[in-house]
Amino acid sequence: MRRFSFVLLMTLLTLAGIGCQENGGAPKTAEEPPATPEVNWDEVSPPEIAFRGLSQDQISYGYTHLLFEVTNPNSTPVPYIGYTRDSYEPPLPEGTISPLYSVEFLRDGAWVAETYGWCGMGRGNVELAPLETVTFDFPAPHDDWESLRIGIDWGNGRTVWSSPVPHASIEPL
């Protein structure tokens, strides 16, 4: 029941906070960025995702907001799927991104994927500039998981994952 409630709440938060509304900080229709030049993705390093601690939001409605940092270690832009900075009103702060992330929780020794209902409004192809470092936050549930990891799809459908974040290492969960 807790997992169902978590998925239901995340879907509602997504619809209320990120998408499908015309007012209140919801995304507008995203403009497509310029096409990325042809790249051999086998020669490009994946972005690096690292847990950095609690975000400024910290705790809300049974969740602790965790801050993750994403770095592009390459000399070429790296695309990912997410919401563009200007698809929000007001726009996302400089240095902040809103990727469509994947989440897996370690429960009873097995990684279990959680699914979210991302809205299509404002969603598009976004790029990390060469050597750019940005942040985003994830609302982690106060739940029965042992560790979590966050994944971002990048460069031609590949997924890069953060290192596992142990539940016990996050305060004040």
Question: Rounded to whole angstroms, how far apart are CA atoms 110 and 123?
Answer: 31
Contact by Cβ (8 Å): 126, 79? yes
- 38 belongs to a structural domain: no
- 12 belongs to a structural domain: yes
Question: Rounded to whole angstroms, how far apart are CA atoms 141 and 121?
Answer: 25
- 39 belongs to a structural domain: no
Going by pLDDT thresholds of 50, 70 and 90, the confidence category of residue 26 is very low
Q: Could you count the other beta carbons within 10 Å of the beta carbon of residue 129?
A: 12
Domain count of the chain?
Answer: 1
- 37 belongs to a structural domain: no
- 41 belongs to a structural domain: no
Question: Rounded to whole angstroms, how far apart are CA atoms 65 and 146?
Answer: 17
150 or 19: which leads in pLDDT: 150
- 56 belongs to a structural domain: yes
For 7, 8, 129, the CA distances from 13, given in Å and listed in that order, are 10, 9, 29
- 91: domain CATH number is 2.60.40
Share of the chain above pLDDT 90, in %: 46
Span 124-155, pLDDT tens digits: 889 999 999 999 999 998 888 999 999 999 97
> In the structure encoding, which two tokens stand for residue 113, read together?
């994927």
Share of the chain above pLDDT 70, in %: 75
Average pLDDT over residues 100-123: 91
Going by pLDDT thresholds of 50, 70 and 90, the confidence category of residue 18 is very low
> In the structure encoding, which two tokens stand for residue 96, read together?
């902040």
- 151 belongs to a structural domain: yes
**Contacts of the segment 140-144: beta carbons below 8 A, 24+ positions apart:** 140/63, 140/64, 140/65, 140/66, 140/170, 140/173, 141/2, 141/6, 141/62, 141/63, 142/62, 142/63, 142/64, 142/173, 143/2, 143/3, 143/6, 143/105, 144/2, 144/107
Domain, as residue range, for 79: 2-30+47-167
pTM of the entire structure? 0.77
**pLDDT value for 20:** 44
